[in-house]
Structure 1
């Protein structure tokens, strides 16, 4: 009789069920379990393993799907958790695998429980596809680049699938070290980048380091989500990052000219940068510069821009949280 194993990722509203009968593997591959991960918006089907998988990089298989068929089969989400998150902040980063840069950020509550785990990776300066050199693999169109490659025809997963799956486990199990399941076909960054960084931080989160995180993400109703993340050190603002993330489905984006940018963010999208002349990056960097000078999310020059009005909405709410913490 088949045994059913269920794992509940309550923090991300995920439910994963796996079947112990594994799929046939090659002699060099670890055995994989087929799991289904359900979210509010989508159901994922993954083969997961508990060790590294053999890379298919350098191979050039014949495509099994048309681009339209493959787009319908693949799905990943870049949406941040909505609402306000605040807690003790930790960050660890380093280069791995030929110059790719991994960045792991953690937030814990006062009891030391993980409440946010987020890994980002910047491709190396010498990345073989020059468009993505130094680009965010999470919030640019890098995952689409992976999806168009025939090497993902069997796994139907991208970098984002592998990382968000691992983040969910760390949150649900409230641990940073030991072995984890990873998505077959998307395990390299998880195992070589994220897991070593997390293991180094397992003792860090046992006590506050003096850094505190205030974050807010709020849907704007037009296929965009505004996100503002602030970090303080002993009460002083040392980082203030604002971004707007496009919806996971292009039909949710009301501006048809921007629908091709779904599952990307304005700050990190290479194509949005080309379309707008890097205006949003300059806007967001300018916001941070003023905030660091004034130490106030709202004491900044007014701008007649939709993005500035979006920023003010979330900044007003987050500023109240920061002010309340200081009283």
Structure 2
């Protein structure tokens, strides 16, 4: 399969695979060799997506928290599928407790472990592969192929949530999704997601996602954060005193109060200008 310009050749299975969690076999590659062999993408779909919105979430496998979001068109066809997972609060590696497995450096943490030397895949590979099947086949239940060595979250977290939602998507629940993502030209992609309930804005999420390849990021000081996002990257947050998280949370707080993406105090910052550019386009869609 091909995604984000990268060709994948996965070893797939149609049932759960035996976990190698906790093992540390002898390394088969140097870190540089392994990095060259592994690839995963955290890039959002580019452009505007809008449609009926559905969300389902629950804890599974010892406290990991799965969140599945779906968007359908007016005919009930799936047009967006996205699964996210927060590591358990008592995760064995404390750094990742309650962290996003998709947009932090969690996948790099997996890649560094020698138990992935055979599979050369991470959590992200397993989830995006399943998302693609659901979209392509326009279904949420039944059996799916999963990536060998990265099937646990897909089968224990994402698939049960999806199956519960198979009847939901047959009719609108009153929630509507507006999403937009655009490259900023510097190795970052800006993303704004808005959810309304009966035409009232109830959620506003803004993020900037670093490129999948470090050489695509123009600011060399930021290259270390590739395949992560400003909001969810633990290391970026630590280095910047969580300034972006505070900014994005502040945007949401103001918009929920004013019910308009643009009716917020102006800020002289690059983050604000990037947000405002996307907000103008999305507010136009909301006003239609």
**Is TM > 0.5 for Structure 1 vs Structure 2?**
yes
1:53 aligns with 2:17: yes
Gaps of 5+ in 1: 1-36
* 1:286-301 pair list within 5 angstroms: 286-301=250-265
Cα shift readout 1:209-239 (whole Å, capped 9, x = no counterpart): 0000000000000000000000000000000
Q: Partners of 2:106 and 2:2 in 1: how far apart? A: 24
- Cα distance, 1:190 vs structure 2: 0.1
| Higher share in strand | 1
DSSP-derived class of the 2:11 partner: strand
Match of 1:24 in 2: none
DSSP-derived class of the 1:95 partner: strand
Q: Partners of 1:295 and 1:266 in 2: how far apart? A: 25
* 1:186-265 pair list within 5 angstroms: 186-265=150-229
* 1:98-177 pair list within 5 angstroms: 98-177=62-141
Match of 2:274 in 1: 310
Which TM-score applies when normalising by structure 1? 0.88
Cα shift readout 1:49-92 (whole Å, capped 9, x = no counterpart): 00000000121200000000000000000000000000000000
Match of 1:89 in 2: 53
- Cα distance, 1:40 vs structure 2: 4.8
Of 242, 248, 272, the residue aligned with 1:284 is: 248
- Cα distance, 1:45 vs structure 2: 1.7
Match of 2:36 in 1: 72
Q: Partners of 1:128 and 1:178 in 2: how far apart? A: 33
Cα shift readout 1:122-158 (whole Å, capped 9, x = no counterpart): 0000000000000000000000000000000000000
Retained in 1: the 8 A contact 2:203–2:256?
yes
Which TM-score applies when normalising by structure 2? 0.99
Retained in 1: the 8 A contact 2:46–2:182?
yes
Q: Partners of 2:4 and 2:157 in 1: how far apart? A: 28
CA RMSD, 1 decimal: 0.5
DSSP-derived class of the 1:46 partner: coil
Higher relative contact order (CA 8 A, sep 6+): 2
Q: Partners of 2:274 and 2:22 in 1: how far apart? A: 43
After TM superposition, where is structure 1 displaced by more than 4 Å over at least 4 residues in a row? none
Q: Partners of 2:127 and 2:173 in 1: how far apart? A: 26
Cα shift readout 1:235-259 (whole Å, capped 9, x = no counterpart): 0000000000000000110110000
